[in-house]
Every structure is written in C-alpha cells, then in structure tokens.
Amino acid sequence: MKLFTNKKKLRSEIRKINNISLVPTMGALHEGHESIIRKSVRGSGKTLVSIFINPKQFNNRKDLKNYPRNNKNDIKILKRLKIDYLYKPSYTDVYKFKTKNKIYLDKFSKKLCGQFRKGHFRGVINVVNRLLEITKPKKILLGKKDFQQLYLIKKHIKKNRIKTKVLPCKTVRDKNFIAFSSRLKKLNAHEKTKLIRIIKVLKKYKKDLITKKETYSFSLIKKKIISLGAKKVDYIKIIDLNTLKKPNKNKFNLFYAIYIGNIRLIDNF
C-alpha cells in the first residue's frame, strides 16, 4: 500500500493506470467499509481508498469536532485488505483548485436528510466531485446505507458526463440488524440497547405496513420511538426506490434518521 497526502504526487503515480476503483471514506473504518473495499480489491484493476473528513458536509461544528477518528486502526485495516493506494489529503489539497465540473444537486437533495442538514449534500457532492477530478477512477464504490447520497452522486456524475461508473454496495449489518456506521462507535452500551429495541420496532412497522395489519401515522410511530429512548426523530418515511415517492405497492424501503443521545443515525431497509 502506497500512502499519498499530495494530489500531484498521487496523479503522477496513477496517471497511466486506466482501471482504478475509488472508495471514498471519512475514516473510522468498520465492517461496512471493509465489505466495500474487499469488493473493489476482488475486481480487476487497482484500489484507491481516500480518507478525508470533509468539513463542508457538516452543518454543525460540534458534530465535525466529535466525528470519530482512528488513524492507526484505519491504516492497519487497509494494509490487511491489501489496497494499492491510500489518499489522505489536507483541506488545501482537496479544495485549493478550480474544478472543471459544476455541482449538480438533484431535487431529491431537498428530501429526507436534506430537510434537516442544510448544505450537507452540496458539501458531499463538492468533495466527491473533487476526488473524482483528482483521481479519475473507472469506478467509484458507494454503500447503499447512504442511499440518498448514492443517488445524488450518480445524478451528478450523469449530468456532468463523468466517465466513472458507480457501483452500489450492500449494507452490512450486525446480528441485531444494525447497519455498521462510524458514528455507532460513539454509543455506549445503554444507548446501543435502546437502538436495538428501536430497530425491532421499525422492522415490525415495515412488516405491518406490507401486510396491511397496521397503518400507524408518523406521529404515533415517532412517539413510540421516542418512548424507547430516541432523543429526537428527524424522519421515518417509506419510499419507492424507483419513483422516490410514496409507494403504491408493497415494494419500498423504510428510511429513518434518529438521534440516540447526541448521535444521529440513518439507515434504510
């Protein structure tokens, strides 16, 4: 594994390689990241992982400051997974150049997390666009847990005719159906127990909606989730992944964003 902190040196190294797969991360790597990286390594070509905590996608300074960091463990994981390149840039390296592509934000950016995190998706698309211009990968691998982010990046790439293929990767879960997330590491044992109970209720809620046993209103399910220990509920929505609207049939994903203590967690299933 070769480590780069400078885009010029990285470009010099990879400029003749036409089959690079990019896995962008903010570090604090977990089983979900590992699954995506393994998928990349198994494919043809070279794997490039980036670690950059992007300030522009945080709408809360305290959240940015408290975002989990574990550089030593990240390096250990990436070496074990035998990636080819690691790019750990500074803020200046990522942002001090003029991009060729304009940021494109699809209207879906105003839904779900976009309603609660002002400027978040503009920050996400900005940094991903810059990483794409720096590395020019053939493929970019992204997790389905962040479905909204995945969708918006795909739209940006298509709109700008960027020659990078998006590979969606399945969500990896633990035995309690909790999707692995860097922020999970901030939960204590008591908070984790609360989350396990909440996930059980949300799974049943989806099942009941499919079987038409129940048609709880949002206010009722929200009240139930808060009674189980959620500090706050931003949204619980059911969405048809093809139309991005309220489903007419029983094929849909349930999306949620909740706070356990001060930690915001999102998922869809």
CB burial readout 47-68, b (16+ within 10 A) else e: bbbbbbbbebbbeeeeeeeebb
Catalytic member of 30, 33, 120, 156: 33
d(C-alpha 99, C-alpha 109), whole Å = 21
Assign 3-class secondary structure to the chain.
Answer: CEEECCHHHHHHHHCCCCCEEEEEECCCCCHHHHHHHHHHHHCCCEEEEEECCCHHHCCCHHHHHHCCCCHHHHHHHHHHCCCCEEECCCHHHHHCCCCCCCCCCCHHHHCHHHHCCCCHHHHHHHHHHHHHHHHCCCEEEEEHHHHHHHHHHHHHHHHCCCCCEEEEECCCECCCCCECCHHHHHCCHHHHHHHHHHHHHHHHHHHHHHHCCCCCCHHHHHHHHHHCCCCEEEEEEEECCCCCCCCCCCCCEEEEEEEECCEEEEEEC
Q: In terms of C-beta distances under 8 Å and separation of at least 24 residues, what long-range contacts does 217-225 make, across chains too?
A: 225/198, 225/201, 225/258
- The verdict on whether 33 is a catalytic residue reads yes
Enzyme catalytic residues: 33
